[in-house]
Structure 1
Amino acid sequence: MSDFGTVLFKSGQSSEWLPNSSGLYPNRGMYFGDGLFETMVYDGQDIRFFEYHLERIREGCQVLGLDEGQLDPRQLQEVVIKRSKQTQKRIRWTVYRSGMGRYTPATDQLEQVLQIAPFVPAPQLKENAVFCSAVHLAYSSFSKLKTISALPYVLAGKEKLEQKADEIILCDSAGNIAEAGASNIFWITGKQVFTPALEAGGIAGVSRRLILEHLAKLGVNVQIGLFPKETLLQADQVFTSNVTGISMVKRLEDVEFDCERPDFLTNLL
């Protein structure tokens, strides 16, 4: 097993997941970022919220013009269960276009890579966050998807390291809050919950969807819109979320927030 955990490869309409050494290099994922991925959590029995992940990757296949009929979700789940041996795992499912060519694709066939690695939960608290200055996100027909064209997040992560921060907040070109470096972002001011609209260029995270659905069931109104940085700096509480969990944010720039976890987040994710 490598540092990446167990890595399996499935080509086109093949019926088997094989060791990744059988994969084809180079490929369109490597050359053009022509693909998608989902990061999921296996809890020892099932892939959590798998239907939501499957729905998003199918939507992505439709946007990219990939043959979603080649996806076999039941087989993927069986492989994960067999390989994970009832222990928690972090699952990355990558789908990219087959063949090569130039920018213009020559096929709608796809290749798949499945990575099964140890699960590390999100930290309960992120001590220090900063705004990203190197990257601004932009809204598009695919910006809400998790594509493997992830250079903005790579550069944001680099800046986070340079700033010695625990989290970095990305904005769009107009200065509206979009998301965190690898998470969606929410904040509370008074009794009102806020989160950015996807039109700011952020990803439609599965955890974001779960939180919004959960709050709707509780009758909690969430303001979704385009909000400038100052709105976040005026918040009482800030938290980020992805499928590995929810983290409270203690400080953003020179502003400190209340870090006591809201009751509505108890046992969620």
Structure 2
Amino acid sequence: MLYCSVNFTKTNQINVSDRGLAFGDGVFTTGKVLNGGLEYISEHINRLQHSCSKLAITGVNWQDVEEEIITASANYALATLKVIITAGHSGRGYSRTGATGGNVIVCISEFPQHYQTWQQQGLTLGLSSFKLGLNPALAGIKHLNRLEQVLIRQELEQCNADLQEVDELVVCDLNENIVECNTANIFWLKGRVFYTPNLQLSGVAGLCRARLLSALPAVNIVSSKVSELAQADAIYLCNSLLGVVPVKQFMDKVFNVEESKKLLGKFQ
């Protein structure tokens, strides 16, 4: 880690009674620092505000949050910035009664070097056997309870230990509908129409996904089975660090990465 602050003071220590640690009671956002500034800073702050509102987390000074992001980012040409906001400290038990109000953690770490390789060469996509639970109350929010993603990541690492050589896994929900990938949202192109999963029951509604929904002329938000991906002309993954990257292979189907880039460029 390159930098860390808690409540706008440089430190990597936090009280063990923090509700984020105890219950996953909090939210976060992760973004790309480029040339001394966080890309799409307003979108990240708006996302945090929306997520805190959904979880009724209060006591956050948003001007201080923005100033800390700006100050922390200033010394880095390329890095990863993560902002965590928890519901504060409280006593034992689920109740927030007596909680101190939001704790703000800002961390900066190295930018994932393999993302640059994926951007140039595309990535290989496999299929996770794990099924995401259905929870409309939390769907779309990037909350701190990410145990499902931890288990999916373990599966991905096991795939590579077994020499399957996949970069990411597409994940479905309990209804067998495509939701997302371990660390990214997913789009696919068939004919002249883009598709992306409906995230009303599970999954994370990423900022890069939102920008693509605005930029592309025709995107169908759908509940689709994995078989749809096998019929796609191109598949793309996206998140705030990665940007939009084409898939070069999904299961047994191989895609032309340069052609996928051209197809996307025609619509943007």
| 1:60/1:142 contact within 8 Å kept | no
Alpha-carbon distance between aligned partners in 2 of 1:69 and 1:251, rounded to the nearest angstrom: 44
Shift of 1:68: 5.4
| 1:36/1:148 contact within 8 Å kept | yes
Task: Name 1:209's counterpart in structure 2.
Answer: 210
Task: Name 1:189's counterpart in structure 2.
Answer: 190
From 12, 20, 29, the equivalent of 1:29 is: 20
Alpha-carbon distance between aligned partners in 2 of 1:163 and 1:126, rounded to the nearest angstrom: 19
RMSD over equivalenced CA pairs, Å: 2.1
User: Residues 1-269 of structure 1: matches in 2 within 5 Å?
Assistant: 4-10=1-7, 16-21=8-13, 23-67=14-58, 69-72=60-63, 73-82=65-74, 84-85=75-76, 87-101=77-91, 102-106=93-97, 107=99, 109-120=101-112, 122=115, 123-124=118-119, 125-164=121-160, 165-215=166-216, 220-244=217-241, 245-259=243-257, 260-263=259-262, 265=264
Q: Flag the 1:235–1:200 CA change in 2: closer, same or farther, 3 A.
A: farther
Task: Name 1:13's counterpart in structure 2.
Answer: none
- Which range is displaced more, 64-73 or 108-117? 64-73
Q: Flag the 1:79–1:264 CA change in 2: closer, same or farther, 3 A.
A: farther
- Which range is displaced more, 62-71 or 30-39? 62-71
Return 5+ residue gaps in structure 1 as ranges: 11-15
| 1:61/1:67 contact within 8 Å kept | yes
TM-score (norm 2): 0.87
Q: Secondary structure at the match of 1:211?
A: helix
Alpha-carbon distance between aligned partners in 2 of 1:257 and 1:176, rounded to the nearest angstrom: 22
Alpha-carbon distance between aligned partners in 2 of 1:131 and 1:18, rounded to the nearest angstrom: 41
| 2:38/2:70 contact within 8 Å kept | no
Cα deviation 1:101-127 (Å, max 9, x = unaligned): 311212360111111112236222444
Return 5+ residue gaps in structure 2 as ranges: 161-165
Alignment identity in percent?
A: 23
Q: Give 2:249's aligned amino acid.
A: R
Give the length in aligned residue pairs.
253
Q: Flag the 1:188–1:68 CA change in 2: closer, same or farther, 3 A.
A: farther
Q: Give 1:77's aligned amino acid.
A: I
| 1:171/1:200 contact within 8 Å kept | no
Q: Flag the 1:44–1:174 CA change in 2: closer, same or farther, 3 A.
A: same
Alpha-carbon distance between aligned partners in 2 of 1:265 and 1:242, rounded to the nearest angstrom: 16
Shift of 1:137: 3.7
Q: Flag the 1:157–1:221 CA change in 2: closer, same or farther, 3 A.
A: same
Q: Flag the 1:139–1:157 CA change in 2: closer, same or farther, 3 A.
A: same
Shift of 1:265: 4.7
Alpha-carbon distance between aligned partners in 1 of 2:100 and 2:253, rounded to the nearest angstrom: 49
Task: Name 2:163's counterpart in structure 1.
Answer: none
| 1:235/1:257 contact within 8 Å kept | no
| 1:98/1:108 contact within 8 Å kept | yes
